[in-house]
Amino acid sequence: MKEMARSSRASSRLSWPRILHPLYYLRRPRRLFILLGFFLATTFLLWNQHKLPVLQQQQQQKLTSELIEQDFQRLSKEASVDELSSILIYKATKDMEFAGDAKNLGNESDSEHDPVTVWRRQQVKAAMLHAWSSYEKYAWGFDELQPQSKQGINEFGGFGATIVDSLDTLYIMGLQKQFQRARDWVAEHLVFNKNYEASVFETTIRLLGGLLSSYDLTGDMMFLHKAEQLAEQLMPAWDSPSGIPYNKMNMQSQHTSNSDWAGASSTLADLGTEQLEFIGLSQRTGNPKFKQRVEKVIMQLRKVFPSDGLLPIYINPNSGKPTAGKITFGAMGDSFYEYLLKVWIQGNKTEVVKHYREMWEQSMEGMMGLIMKSSPSGYTYIAERTSRDAIRKKMDELACFAPGMLTLGTEGASPEKASKYLELAKELAWTCYNFYMSTPTKLAGEEYYFTDGNDMSLRTKYNLLRPETVESLMYLWRKTGDPKYRDWGWNIFQAFELQSRTPFGYVGLKDVTTGRQDNRMQSYFLAETLKYLYLLFSPSSVIPLDEWVFNTEAHPLRIIPRVHEPVSLEEEIPEEVIDTDAQTDSILISDAEAAKRSRNGG
């Protein structure tokens, strides 16, 4: 009996290893099928439990998107533009819809889930829809909208500046239908042979930049063909004895000229802010002549580049040498310095473009000599230097691009310089933010003067919906991740909503102390201000800065490494002496008026 019990226990102990052996099931097919069925059922249940919430969320998002679209179509048929604005805020919750193109913009699924940030981004998108819908309804095909009188105006030759300027903003925000209508207008109506005296600078940064950016985002060859046509039309502007371009050109007769108020000279910002666009066009078409024209300009300036890297704002197109003029990072000087850095970035920081970076760092060292602090609050600002070498304690809002430029310039700098650039960028951004917060309307004026013991005082009181401060906040946010920059940007956006929004678009202010409005919606408000605000509240993967570089009108261009070509700007550099002591300031108009005439834009 005991022997039988031991045999039974032994049999029980041996059964578990036996049922785990594969041969056990191969000899018993029915049990094998049962085991496989159990395994598949268990796997399906586990997968389903994991996948079901994701599928439900996707279905809910799709249904919500369809309902939003249906409600929008139904309500917008009878709504006025003013009523439409509230509907657009609701519709702004739609996600980006460009299937297959997300790889060009970064993955929106990486978006932060912070509901405040998402909501703010939606509000900026709704503002863009309000501005764009108003333009479509009242000024379609014109350069810009006059919201107060509900009509269009042509300030840039009737080239549809708002359409071309807005293309990439519409695309980045995922506004597919609006983008398609704009694209079709460009294809069917944009021609350049017009009897109009154009600003070469404005035409380049708005139209050529907008077309190239749209090509880079979409791959649509139509945009590249239009860009090449425009560049060909502009070529005679560089036909000066020195290669320095004239600032103005009749687009039909191709007659070139400079303004009398500039003493017949070319202005620094105008002549030094076409390089990104024309180099980019050569890279995309394989035609080197566009690049050669604009790089000859910087090569000429390198010959006469002063030791502190700071050039006066007037350059003689015959001699290629500086003439009378102040030194400033504000109007008529600003974007020259910006493009020295950005051409280096555009070329992917290769050996070919090293001299651009060297010139930029030289200019930054010179700028340090213009950095001052106010009292008693200690606001850091960039002063100006007159043609007589005197310091003027004045800073334009236009110079508020500098914090963003310095932040961008930390990449590739030595650790010591990078730290210095970033710290200065933070201090300048605080000053620029206070340009806004110090006025009753919380919108910045155009010029500020600084006096000892009295900090800053507003000199020129109009606001033109400019983007420079929010541009710098976007760069600082991406570099530091400090949420205060988003908060500052949101406060500025709210001020635009309160002071500049009308039932039929957005307007500037004639006086930021009273809130008195003008009657013009600048095209760069859609191209720059709203785009930078949208990106400020978007993940860094949307237009990542290691893949794209923005032109001075906020049009993103893809970074394309420059290799297998001679080093740019290299030739024998003769010694030149800039004698500013013997030069007189022949400009009889005010700085503010000159800036307004030079660029009534961003």
**Residues designated catalytic:** 202, 334, 446, 468
CA distances in angstroms from 356 to 217, 269, 311, 567, 597, listed in the order given: 26, 16, 15, 10, 29
Per-residue exposure over 208-244, b if at least 16 CB sit within 10 Å of its own CB, e if not = bbbbbbbbbbbebebbbebbbebbebbebbbebebbb
Cβ of 469: how many Cβ atoms within 10 Å?
Answer: 26
Q: Kindly list the distances between the CA atom of residue 203 and the CA atoms of 206, 331, 454, in Å, as whole numbers in the listed order.
A: 6, 17, 41
Least Cα distance to 493 among 171, 126, 147 occurs for 126
Q: How many Cα atoms sit within 13 Å of 401 on the Cβ side?
A: 25
Q: How far apart are the two ends of the chain, measured CA to CA in Å?
A: 103
**Crossing angle between the packed helical segments 415-437 and 402-409, to the nearest 10 degrees:** 160
User: Which residues sit opposite 457 in a β-bridge?
Assistant: 449
CA 349 from chain centre, in angstroms, equals 20
The residue type of 435 is: F
How many residues can be counted in the chain? 602
Q: Are 73 and 107 in contact (CB under 8 A)?
A: no
Buried b (16+ CB within 10 A) or exposed e, 439-462: bebbbbbbbbebeeeebbebebbb
Cite the beta strand spans of 212-330 per DSSP E. Answer: 248-250, 256-257, 266-267, 314-315
Residue among 537, 526, 500, 524 nearest 128 (CA)? 526
